[in-house]
Structure 1
């Protein structure tokens, strides 16, 4: 479980001239049970990326506490980052190796996995994003969408307890999008909590157990998909046309621009 209790995070006011700083996350409290598929939704600047980055210590709250599997993140960053996999919105922020295979293997290697286990994880993760047998390709030669798929594969290869994906479908073609959605569905069924950060819910609302909507750093919506769908447009969030929360396959029939 991920627990967030009274978390607030401010940033330097900078060009805004705000001497007190800009409040990105404002007194947020929520819990994410194991196996839950959670959407964190909101417009750009609503605080959703800052919030999820507190889950593994990439951002340190000014006040409040974040726990992962019962342990405060600030007390054990290594454990938090092993348990919470993160896929950034811009894959350039997390790709670290020259080739596809080496990049996906980086996390399992740092966990001390055996060579056989690393190979299995790399193969499974690349298959999940439709990039099987492309281990030897150089990262520099890939398109933006392909780099995003490698970043997702790198997080999947860690086999974390909780997987956070920040706008994961940007730049993905239709086969890759469907493959990733299928993999997220499988992860939830296996007990991994999946947290998708987005302002466009058309791909994922049909898979979600719960939606948390942020506005100005505060929780404005916390509801099951059917209830949340009525409120989210007021937060400048896109929901699937005609969504009624009843079909788990709604995500498969929607389309991304």
Structure 2
């Protein structure tokens, strides 16, 4: 369970080096948000650029420290143990360059499990499983510098998957992915959700994922403007400049999405 209570985040507050400080203590990016993500839920956090969605989810594992309010993961305050929080909440950034740390694909995906102290055999298993999940099996020795932008995005996703977190947050995960990679990632997210992992997708475009969601939270100007089941949310989100599919079905989250099959 992820619990955020009264979370407020400001930029440009005095002493931060920003230029947007005002008498209220800075530009508010997230404004008094209270939100819980139950274990196993597939949640979409939607909103236009600048709505606060990325800042909010980065409080879930301590990448951003709230100016007010609290965040806890699995019952423990994030601020008490950042290592535990970041092990429990995997994060995939919108720009993979922000999180790729090694020279080769395999070394990058192995970085997280190595820091967890996993055995060599366990690291190899996790790397192989994670790369297979994003259609990059057998490419461990390729250099990151030689990859396309879409391939780097897939490596970043694999790195988060290799941590086998309780909760997985993905910020605009389909940017730059081709169709086979997109399908593979969707299948993996569906399987993770079915296995009990919380999946949180941050996006301004719900066309790929709305049919998988249990719930949609829409942000506007840092506040929760929508918190509803997918069908109800789809009616309200266009007002927040969020793209929704023209139609979608309410099939269970572990069933193939509309237009997809289980065929290889």
Q: What's the TM-score once normalised by structure 2's chain length? A: 0.93
Residues of 1 paired with 2:187 and 2:147: CA distance? 23
Residues of 1 paired with 2:256 and 2:233: CA distance? 15
**2:236 counterpart SS class:** helix
Residues of 2 paired with 1:80 and 1:72: CA distance? 8
Task: Tell me the residue number matched to 1:253.
Answer: 259
**1:253 counterpart SS class:** coil
**1:9 counterpart SS class:** strand
CA positional deviation for 1:40:
0.2
**In the alignment, structure 1 residue 23 sits paired with structure 2 residue 28:** yes
**In the alignment, structure 1 residue 168 sits paired with structure 2 residue 173:** yes
Please say which of residues 209-218 and 5-14 is displaced more in the overlay. Answer: 5-14
**2:114 counterpart SS class:** helix
Residues of 1 paired with 2:256 and 2:51: CA distance? 26
Equivalent runs, 1:92-241 vs 2, <5 Å: 92-241=97-246
Deviations 1:8-61 (A, max 9, x none): 000007455645311000000010000000000000000000000000000000
Provide structure 1 residue ranges, at least 5 long, that are not aligned to the other structure. none
CA positional deviation for 1:220:
0.3
2:249·2:258 contact (CA, 8 Å) conserved in 1? no
The alignment's C-alpha RMSD in Å is 1.5
Task: Tell me the residue number matched to 2:10.
Answer: 10
1:205·1:251 contact (CA, 8 Å) conserved in 2? no
**Which of the numbers 45, 56, 63 marks the counterpart of 2:61?**
56
Deviations 1:52-97 (A, max 9, x none): 0000000000010000000000011110000000000000000000
**In the alignment, structure 1 residue 74 sits paired with structure 2 residue 64:** no
CA positional deviation for 1:3:
0.2
Q: 1:235 to 1:144 in 2, by over 3 A?
A: same
